[in-house]
Amino acid sequence: MGIKFETARFEAAFGTAEQLPESTTPEVAFAGRSNVGKSSLINKVVRRKALARTSSQPGKTANINFYLVDGIRLVDLPGYGFAKVSGKERQRWADLISGYFDQERSFNLVVALVDIRHDAQKLDVQMLDFLADAELPFVVALTKADKLSRAKADQQAARLAKQFGIPRSQMVVTSAEKGTGIDELRRRIEDACN
């Protein structure tokens, strides 16, 4: 029984973790660096052009956005690691992300996005270590695979799995541009929410 992804609709945006409503349905959260391709991937998963706003101005909004999909909440966490913001704004993002995970919620799956073109970066390692330590179920979506050849993408996926210390099977190679890995990601979400 599949999730009807195309029924996705925007539920609400929250500027502080305290504003978040009680967790009443399964939640699938998306986390990753600013500009990693989070909005593009969410749109692709729900087969919509612009449900989540893709931005040419990364890091502008520090909100948690909820989308409702067939009784499941997709949680768009604020992108981290955007360099050109004040320390105060950076702290607000950190508070939002940790505030979300500190709550009593139905964490069915975290999709952690990582750009496939780069070797493991400190902030991504921190995020994945945090998820593993908290024993949260997560899958790593390697984004923008269309920027590499198929062989190079496979090679880089294996390399990143080693660097992150996770099994290759916990990663999905994706491209929002080409549609690569999107069905696989939908399956992982369905499996986590059934």
Ligand X SMILES: Nc1nc2c(ncn2[C@@H]2O[C@H](COP(=O)(O)OP(=O)(O)O)[C@@H](O)[C@H]2O)c(=O)[nH]1
Q: Name the site residues for Mg ion (rule: CB under 5 A).
A: 38-39
Rounded to a whole number, what is the largest CA-CA distance in the chain? Answer: 46
Q: Which of 3, 27, 35, 171 binds ligand X (CB under 6 A)?
A: 35
Tokens in use for 46?
């729900």
**Any contact of residue 8 with ligand X (CB under 6 A)?**
no
Binder among 36, 45, 74, 96 for ligand X (CB under 6 A)? 36
Q: Which stretch binds ligand X (CB under 6 A): 2-10, 27-35, 94-102, 156-164?
A: 27-35
Write out the two tokens for 171: 């990663």
The answer to whether 174 and 180 have CB atoms below 8 angstroms apart is: yes
Q: What is the spatial distance between Cα 46 and Cα 4, in angstroms, rounded to a whole number?
A: 8
Beta bridge partner(s), residue 32: 113
Q: Which does 95 bind (CB under 5 to 8 A by kind): Mg ion, ligand X, none?
A: none
Cα(119)–Cα(122) distance, rounded to whole angstroms? Answer: 10
- Stretch near ligand X under the rule CB under 6 A, chosen from 7-15, 102-110, 155-163, 172-180: 172-180
CA distance 86 to 180: 36
CB of 33 to ligand X, least distance (A): 7
Closest distance of CB 30 from ligand X, Å: 9
Specify whether the backbone of 102 is left (phi greater than 0), alpha (psi in -120 to 50) or beta: alpha
Told to check if 51 binds ligand X by CB under 6 A, we report: no
Which listed option, Mg ion, ligand X, none, makes contact with residue 177 (CB within 5 to 8 Å by class)?
A: ligand X
Minimum distance between the CB of residue 69 and ligand X, rounded to whole angstroms?
17
Instruction: Tell me: does residue 143 bind ligand X (CB under 6 A).
Output: yes
Cβ-based nearer residue to ligand X, 1 or 94: 94
Closest approach, Cβ 181 to ligand X, in A, equals 10
Residue 33, H or E segment: none
Contacts of 73 (CB under 8 A, 6+ apart): 11, 23, 25, 26, 27, 28, 66, 67
User: What residues make contact with ligand X under the rule CB under 6 A?
Assistant: 32, 34-40, 54-55, 58, 79, 143-144, 146-147, 175-177
